[in-house]
Structure 1
Amino acid sequence: MRHSTCTHLMVLLLAGLAGSVAEEAHPQPPPLDQEEYLDAEDWFISGLALNGAGRYQDAALAFARSLDINPESAATWLNLGTAQALSGDFDQAITHLKKSLQLEPKLALGYSNLAEVYFRVEQYREAAEAYQELLELTPGDSNGHYKLGLCWLYLGEPGKAQGEYLALKLLDPDLAGKLIQAINQRGK
């Protein structure tokens, strides 16, 4: 009986140590008010970690601090806008995603995220423009074709939506099927 109690105690201790090791492998980002982040890259990396942990408002603060030091970083403006979009601050997200594209006009992910935000707030004309810019940079982006087709559909231009369906048919038959279904439903 004593032997089994020791065995159980040892298993619990090992499980506790394993839990500590697992926590060390994926450490939580420290609070933002700690002053160990001294340069723009440190704040940027902290923002990425906070974003990955689902702490979007804290991530936005970290990206903003990075931009205080280096306001010419398109990647930081992109991540700030994305974190703001994920936290529901769509107006600021749009402003900051546009800033990332001013600094880096060929930033495909910037157009993709900007288009998604516009789409989410039902600004379909602006979303369509951003998706078109995205597709100029990455013509094989099936999600871009699909969402652009939906934009055209919502804007009352089913012929253009049909054109996106035809392009999408070659890229992603599943998404093409969803788009033609939406086109057909909208036509009824």
Structure 2
Amino acid sequence: MDKNQNGIELMREGKWDEAAKAFAEAIEEQPKDPVAYINFGNVLTAVGDTERAMNFYDKAINLDENAPAAYYSKGNVYYDQQNFAQAKNMFELALKKGLETGDNFFMLGMSLANMENSKLALPYLQRSTELLEDDAEAHFQYGLCLARENFIDEAIIALEKAVMFDPEHADALYNLGVAYGFKEDGDKALELFNRALEVQPDHLLAGHGKKLIEGQDNH
């Protein structure tokens, strides 16, 4: 088995030290191959050593400026640091270099959404739901973004997909309830708030939504 493949298997098992060793050997054997540097950086990121990880990603980019995975990995580090503008730049570069994965579209959309630019985020999040068809989180974030831009009918479709793929997604249930509230379907909204509270009894927003609707019913 190739040392990179071996290292990736070890990472999946959470064996970080052994994975790092496999990637270090891969780097020794092929010092001009950016892949091992990216993989080694991913191990460092996973154990929280992001500063050193960034050096490995940069090394990979120096070896091959068209290594899209290096930009994607850098983007994830920036995103976790809540540096959304830098993250967006990295995911855009990864896309430009050919990384047309659902994850990259999703992270690019999320960076824009966190920069409060829902309108620009929409097409990327939409593309992520096409590529990650059964990913509840992708549909959820796309639905949220649609709701922010007042596309309530479309938001309902996306949020219903999120709940279909993950029936215990309390935030999706809650936001779907809010969307039905907008459509003045109080019964449906109440049912969804109750479902959100079943999944997560301390869901404050769902509790608040439920109280509001029940208060209206009592008048």
Taking structure 2 as the reference length, the TM-score comes to 0.66
Deviation of 1:106 after TM superposition, in Å, equals 1.2
2:199 counterpart residue number: 171
CA 1:128–1:38 in 2, change beyond 3 Å: closer, same or farther?
A: same
| Conserved 8 A contact 1:72-1:103 | no
1:101-124, CA deviations, whole angstroms, 9 ceiling, x for partnerless residues? 122211222111112222333332
CA 1:185–1:62 in 2, change beyond 3 Å: closer, same or farther?
A: farther
The partner residue of 2:131 within 74, 95, 103 is 103
User: Gaps spanning 5+ residues in structure 2: where?
Assistant: 1-47
In structure 2, what is the Cα distance between the partners aligned to 1:131 and 1:185?
26
Identical counterparts, % of pairs: 18
1:108-167, CA deviations, whole angstroms, 9 ceiling, x for partnerless residues? 221111122223333322222211010010001111111111111111111211221332
Matches within 5 A, 1:13-28: 25-27=49-51
Matches within 5 A, 1:30-109: 36=62, 38-109=66-137
Amino acid paired to 2:128 = S
* Higher radius of gyration, 1 or 2: 1
Is the aligned partner of 1:155 residue 2:183? yes
1:28-66, CA deviations, whole angstroms, 9 ceiling, x for partnerless residues? 958xx9953541110100111111222212211110111
User: Gaps spanning 5+ residues in structure 1: where?
Assistant: 1-23
In structure 2, what is the Cα distance between the partners aligned to 1:62 and 1:169?
38
In structure 1, what is the Cα distance between the partners aligned to 2:49 and 2:83?
19
In structure 2, what is the Cα distance between the partners aligned to 1:115 and 1:38?
33
Amino acid paired to 2:139 = Y
Amino acid paired to 2:91 = F
Higher relative contact order (CA 8 A, sep 6+): 1
2:212 counterpart residue number: 182
The count of aligned residue pairs is: 164
In structure 2, what is the Cα distance between the partners aligned to 1:186 and 1:93?
35
In structure 1, what is the Cα distance between the partners aligned to 2:115 and 2:105?
15
Taking structure 1 as the reference length, the TM-score comes to 0.75
When the two chains are superposed, the root-mean-square deviation of aligned CA atoms in Å is 2.6
Deviation of 1:186 after TM superposition, in Å, equals 5.4
Deviation of 1:95 after TM superposition, in Å, equals 0.6
| Conserved 8 A contact 1:162-1:183 | yes
CA 1:77–1:25 in 2, change beyond 3 Å: closer, same or farther?
A: closer
Deviation of 1:25 after TM superposition, in Å, equals 4.5
| Conserved 8 A contact 2:176-2:192 | yes
